Amino acid sequence: MIFGSKKDLFLDLLSSIADNVRDSAQYFVDFKIGSEADLKEFARKMKEYENKGDDFIHELIIGLNKTFITPLEREDILELANKMDDILDGMEQCASRFEMYNIVKPDQYMVKFAGHILEATYEVAESAKLLHKKKLMEIRPHAIKLNDLESVVDDLLRVSIKNLFSMEKDPIKIIQYKELYELLEAISDSTEDVADTLETIIMRNA
């Protein structure tokens, strides 16, 4: 039997991790940066979300070490948790760079990157809810959407870097913005990794 009838710690934790990732992405998009003080608060809050995610991962690992029977393969549970956590780690790293480089006005490409990432985290959170409800086959459209969004972000990276090198004259700004674009694209890659892990879980358990 793949899923037990009682409320399961691991599926609860996976849902909590996914919700925290979505909430952090919503904050990432919604927070209005207008000053250096705002940047500090932005980075601090994103670190807070990351720490909360780390606590969930720690609790999950302790549970796996103490539990003989799990609702999914142990490696799949841990893989999914870690891949979701990678999304949050990337956002926290990006927020830290915003503060480090004192970027108080994100450009149009950064805003677009963040919007696509936010959309992806909603797909991740919905997938975790469906996993909790044991509706495995209903997860697949969300995994496909995650792959589609990652392709969009890949295209955006090419466009943003091309524009940066053609329009920007300040070499320091070129270095900083290129790094931020690539960090944001890497976050999108992490959402695709979640999709791949979900597909593996579906294949093994549906």
Question: Looking at residue 83, which CATH number applies to its domain?
Answer: 1.20.58.220
Question: Of the given ranges (2-11, 43-52, 173-182, 184-193), which has the lowest mean pLDDT?
Answer: 2-11
- pLDDT, average across residues 34-38: 92
Binned at pLDDT 50, 70 and 90, residue 206 comes out as: confident
Domain membership flag for residue 1: no
User: Which residue segment(s) compose the domain that 18 sits in?
Assistant: 9-205
Asked whether the beta carbons of 120 and 49 are under 8 A apart, the reply is no
Nearest to 131 by CA among 116, 119, 121, 142: 142
Rounded CA separation 190/173 (Å) = 26
> Residue 34: inside a domain, yes or no?
yes
Residue 4 in domain = no
Percent of the chain with pLDDT over 90: 91
> In this predicted model, what pLDDT tens digit does every residue of 120-149 receive, in sequence order?
999 999 999 999 999 999 999 999 999 999
What is the pTM for the complete model shown? 0.93
Is 174 a residue whose pLDDT tops 50? yes
d(CA 154, CA 148): 10
Tell me what pLDDT residue 70 has: 87
What does the angle CA 199 – CA 196 – CA 79 come to, to the nearest 5 degrees? 100
Structure tokens at 42: 């932005």
Indicate whether 130 belongs to any domain.
Answer: yes
Q: Which of 177, 173, 113, 125 is nearest to 149 (CA)?
A: 113
> What is the number of domains present in the chain?
1
* Residue 180 within a domain: yes
Give the rounded distance of the alpha carbon of 10 from its chain centre. 19
Assigned domain for 3 exists: no
